[in-house]
Structure 1
Amino acid sequence: MSKLKQIKADLALLAVAFVWGITFVVVQDALSGIGPYYFIGIRFAIAFLFLGLIYWRRLLNLSPGAIKAGIIIGIFLFAGYAFQTVGLKYTTASNAGFITGLAVILVPLFSAIVSRKIPGPAVAAGVISATLGLALLSLGDNLSLNFGDILVFFCAISFAGHIILVGKYAPSYDPAALAILQIGVVAIISLACGAALETMPEQFTRPVWIGIFSTAIPATALAFLIQNSVQRYTTPTHTAIIFIMEPVFAAGAGWLLAGEILTARQWLGCLLILLGMLISELKGLLNIKAFKKTETG
């Protein structure tokens, strides 16, 4: 693997994490003028059309297995974005960013449950650190959870399931076609929920337009394209560590663009969550290095 290619891949993935991080504030602003389900539906419909125009040839000979996999993965992706977007109506962009980042820890935890293996000390330490951080970040002075924080935690669970399912199905099917399928599933379910539960605005406000077009192409279509294109030049563990920066960017955008201010206790919570993510992911990196060392004798 070329070192230069890996550096370029890391920078591209860091750009994806940056875009994802700053869109928390943009989405929160957009929700003042449109329902969350219609917002998600329009966002993903535009992304679906954009990617479909690029990769339409790959959609011509989809197998039943690929379609089934795309639907299953898409349902989890929809759940993640639905919980996250609705949750943003009741919590801050900073909180949502950090809680969403817990998916990085939940992946090895869920994998251990599925495989019926007790998590190793590093994973356990990471979970404990992140749980304490989540409590400090989200619990108020009266030890009560914000409703939005609870919804975003379910978002993290859904995204963890999405990551595990992508890891299961992606090696067997075309990654681009699988991405388009799951994006299409999210668009269809979201628009259906919007039609049943919300009222489409007669006209879109400026924040709604900004939110739709800043998330549909850069944060959805292009982000998927970049990730699928460059991740082959770096390791999954390295990718996960880079994506830990997403909640940091979310907190920075919340402070800079929305005037959100975290208390000292909440900052400590953020640091514990980041520490938990790093412990869990660096453990995987050390295992890879140890394996390579064993291979070379």
Structure 2
Amino acid sequence: MDSVHTDGSAVSPPSTGRVLFFLVLTTFFWGGSFLFTKIGVREVPPPFFVLLRFSLASVVMGLLCLPRLGRLNRQTILRGTIVGLALGITNLTFVVGVQGTSISRAGVINNLFVLFIPLIARIAWKDRIGGINTAGIGLASLGIALLAGGGGEGFNRGDMISTLCAFFIAIHIITVSRVLKDEDVWLVSFVQFCVVALMAAVITLVVPTPPFSLGLTSLATIIYCAILPTVVCFTLQNRYQRYVTPTQAGLIYTLDPVWSLLAGFAVLGERLTTREWYGCGLIFLAVLIPLGIRFAIERRLVFRYLHR
């Protein structure tokens, strides 16, 4: 169906190629955040890195939202705060996880959020997990076991925190779907970014921060993470994801760890052992196979609908 402007004129949806291009571009920027975060936290403590990233993102989003700020009400602030708390924990665990492991492993492990969502839904709302997701969880468990036995440190502290990050990514996604209704997504994102910055500020004040210097390299990483994976990716995702199904979007977003693997190999010189490759491959398949099966089912249902 064509979308409609507020003046009543019809607007044709973008082409499939354009939609796919910008959603893949989104995964590229997200994948790049692993590399730039890894470089940034070498100089800047993780909570301070998150504070600077989301403070800058809040300023940029606030400027973009200037025409909308008059519509900012108590309900939007409350709901934005709820999802912002989940987003804050997600990003704080993300930077600590990336700091403690390779971005190749972190990128693959973070994708486990796809499997955590049905698990959380099962625990919270007694939803059925299903055989497809159960098989995916089994594959992921085997992959983690292989990672635990691979590399110099096995399944290290950074890997465990990256797994926790995947859990909170799932929490954030579920929170957004359960809490947000008809709010202005731009204003909600602005509130979210402010909440994350405030959370990081509190942690920075409470937890002793070792001395550090903010150099040009770390400053560049903060600017990248604030603008591209945060503000720009938000815009692209909300602009184009509406034209694909959640399953199609999930399949596209599995490219995230591909970019982080390539960046780790090409820029940081990361090399995985054979055992680690098998472990990452199983985790990747654990996410990809359930999504692929759901996509095939969707296509079959659409085909039957069109040819009934």
Question: TM-score scaled to structure 2, two decimals?
Answer: 0.89
Pair 1:23 & 2:33 matched: yes
What is the CA–CA distance in structure 2 between the aligned matches of 1:284 and 1:250, rounded to whole Å? 25
% same residue: 31
Amino acid at match of 2:134: A
Equivalent residue number for residue 36 of structure 1: 46
Pair 1:58 & 2:53 matched: no
Equivalent residue number for residue 14 of structure 1: 24
Residues 118-129 of structure 1 mapped to structure 2, 5 A cutoff = 118-129=128-139
- 1:242 is displaced (CA, Å) by 0.7
Equivalent residue number for residue 120 of structure 2: 110
What is the CA–CA distance in structure 1 between the aligned matches of 2:214 and 2:62, rounded to whole Å? 25
C-alpha contact (below 8 Å) 2:97/2:157 kept by paired residues:
yes
Equivalent residue number for residue 184 of structure 1: 194
Amino acid at match of 1:274: F
Residues 224-235 of structure 1 mapped to structure 2, 5 A cutoff = 224-235=234-245
Q: Deviations over 1:56-88 (max 9, x none)?
A: 232322333322211111111111111110122
SS of the residue aligned with 1:48? Answer: helix
What is the CA–CA distance in structure 1 between the aligned matches of 2:152 and 2:28, rounded to whole Å? 33
C-alpha contact (below 8 Å) 1:88/1:148 kept by paired residues:
yes
User: Aligned pairs, how many?
Assistant: 297
What is the CA–CA distance in structure 1 between the aligned matches of 2:212 and 2:262, rounded to whole Å? 33
What is the CA–CA distance in structure 2 between the aligned matches of 1:197 and 1:274, rounded to whole Å? 35
Equivalent residue number for residue 228 of structure 2: 218
Higher mean C-alpha deviation, range 59-68 or range 8-17:
59-68
Amino acid at match of 2:18: K
Amino acid at match of 1:154: L
What is the CA–CA distance in structure 1 between the aligned matches of 2:162 and 2:204, rounded to whole Å? 19
Match of 1:49 among 56, 59, 62: 59
- 1:294 is displaced (CA, Å) by 5.8
- RMSD of aligned Cα (Å): 2.2
Residues 122, 71 of structure 1: CA spacing in aligned structure 2 closer, same or farther, 3 A cutoff?
Answer: same
Higher mean C-alpha deviation, range 66-75 or range 195-204:
195-204
Equivalent residue number for residue 155 of structure 1: 165
Pair 1:134 & 2:144 matched: yes
What is the CA–CA distance in structure 2 between the aligned matches of 1:253 and 1:149, rounded to whole Å? 18
What is the CA–CA distance in structure 2 between the aligned matches of 1:216 and 1:143, rounded to whole Å? 31
Amino acid at match of 2:85: I
- 1:89 is displaced (CA, Å) by 2.1
Residues 72, 199 of structure 1: CA spacing in aligned structure 2 closer, same or farther, 3 A cutoff?
Answer: same
SS of the residue aligned with 1:57? Answer: helix
Amino acid at match of 1:260: E
Q: Deviations over 1:249-276 (max 9, x none)?
A: 1111111111110011111111111111
SS of the residue aligned with 1:260? Answer: coil
C-alpha contact (below 8 Å) 2:146/2:276 kept by paired residues:
yes
Amino acid at match of 1:50: V
Equivalent residue number for residue 92 of structure 1: 102
Pair 1:209 & 2:232 matched: no
Match of 2:273 among 238, 250, 263: 263
Equivalent residue number for residue 241 of structure 1: 251
- 1:199 is displaced (CA, Å) by 3.4
Pair 1:193 & 2:207 matched: no
- 1:4 is displaced (CA, Å) by 5.4
